[in-house]
Structure formats: C-alpha cells, structure tokens
Amino acid sequence: MAYAFDFASVLEYREVLVDGTLKTLALTAIGTFFGLAVGILGAVSRAWKLAPFDRFFTVYVELIRNTPFLVQLFFIFFGLPSLGVQINEWQAAILAMVINLGAYTTEIIRAGIEATPKGQIEAAQSLAMGRAQIFRHVVLPPALLKVWPAICSQVVIVMLGSSVCSQIAAEELTFAANFIQSRNFRAFETYFVVTGMYFLLAIAVRQVMIQAGQRLIARRVK
C-alpha cells in the first residue's frame, strides 16, 4: 500500500490558515491581558488576606484548577444562555480563557508576592507610602519579574489549550484545520501542518512574552 502525501492541498487554503492563526493569537493576547489582571487582583487578595476577596479567590482558584478547560468553556457557552445571558462564541472563548488563566496566574503571582522581603515593605512604610502605593511600586514589579518564566509557560499552555475553542465554533486555528480537512479530505496532512504551526506559535509566543517581561517589568525593577 502506497499513500501519496499531498501537502499542497493544505497550502491551497493558506488564507484560512493565516486567518485562524491571527484569531488564535488575538484570543491569546486578550486572554493573557485580562487573565493577568485577574491574576494580580487574586494574588494580592490571597497574599495579603484582603477579606472577603481572599475567600472568593481561594474557591475560584480551586474550582478552575481542578476542572478541564473544555468543561469550563461548555459551561459558559451552553450553560449561561439558559440563565438568560446571551453570549456568542468569541465572548465565551475569551471569558473562558480569562477565567482559566486568571486562576493559574493568581497562584503563580501569589508565590512572587509572598517572596517579597519584609524589610522592603517596612522601608516603604517608613516613607509614608500607602498600601496601594507600596503594592504598585514596591511589591508588584519584583514579584512579577520573579515568576515571569512560570507566567510565560502558562500563557503557552493556554494558547495551546485554546484549540478546543473550535468545539464551540470559534473560528481559530483548529477550526480552520477542521474546515480544511472537510474540504480537501486530507485529514492527516492538514493536522500535521497545523500541528507544526502551533509548535512555531508556541515558540513565538514564549519569545514575545519573555521580551515583554524584560521591556515592561525588568526596567522598573532595575
């Protein structure tokens, strides 16, 4: 039996692939931005025991980290409308990614905040800085810098995990692959190419995140 590989039939759909790639990247970027915001709020609430938010974030982190992303996505996309909340596939995908990444980054950033030397906070207090100022200028930047490699890894994991968003018909890269293989009947070649694209995206996203860390955080910490 000889099977003739036909990768050209995949590349005929390069516009679909490019479009899917851009949407996967956009999803990742938006998810990362808001996910980090949630993570910072959650981390400071838990690390500094800001009642009642610390309790809320503890439950949130455990619930999200102990259930699959796909189920969170289905719950949001199929479950919320039955409560009367209308939501389209992109809103559901973004919401799921923010909620998911927020839980993981809460734990990651919390570790960074808890590693802040006590003397630094005392020094800031002696300069009559308020709690919010201390957090923003003294605690957060070095904390983020310390855990940035873990955040980069988590963002890559979330980007790869976003491939299941194809299941609620969000037209990202995996959706593009499903579409292409339903047209050219070359499932193996299509998934092979798209897997390679994800691999390159993972490398690229990691590099961008590392660079962003150096540009945005490392400078402030000096």
Partner 1 sequence: MNDISYWDIVRNLLDGALWTVGLSLTAFILGGIAGLVLLFARIAQNPIPRRLAQAYIEVFQGTPLLMQLFIIFFGGSLIGLEISPWIAAALGLTLFTSAYLGEIWRGCVESVPKGQWEASASLAMTHVEQMRHVILPQALRIAIAPTVGFSVQVVKGTAVTSIIGFVELTKTGSMLANATYQPFLVFGLVALGYFALCYPLSAYSRILERNIHGSRAH
Give me the residues that bind partner 1 (CB under 8 A), please: 1, 3, 62-63, 65-72, 74-75, 78-83, 156, 160-161, 163-164, 166-167, 174, 177, 181, 187-188, 191-192, 194-195, 198-199, 202-203
SS (H, E, C) 113-146: HHCCCHHHHHHHHHCCCCHHHHHHHHHHHHHHHH
* Least Å from the CB of residue 188 to partner 1: 5
CA neighbor of 59 nearest in space, from 45, 77, 71: 45
Nearer to partner 1, 18 or 85 (CB): 85
* Least Å from the CB of residue 155 to partner 1: 13
* Least Å from the CB of residue 207 to partner 1: 13
* Least Å from the CB of residue 23 to partner 1: 15
Question: What's the CA gap between 191 and 177, in Å, rounded?
Answer: 6
Nearer to partner 1, 84 or 119 (CB): 84
Nearer to partner 1, 94 or 189 (CB): 189
Q: Tell me if 127 sits within 8 A of 74, measured CB to CB.
A: no
Nearer to partner 1, 138 or 155 (CB): 155
Q: Tell me if 10 sits within 8 A of 187, measured CB to CB.
A: no
Question: What's the CA gap between 24 and 199, in Å, rounded?
Answer: 13
The amino acid that residue 168 corresponds to is I
Nearer to partner 1, 33 or 199 (CB): 199
CA neighbor of 89 nearest in space, from 24, 171, 29, 32: 171
* Least Å from the CB of residue 66 to partner 1: 4
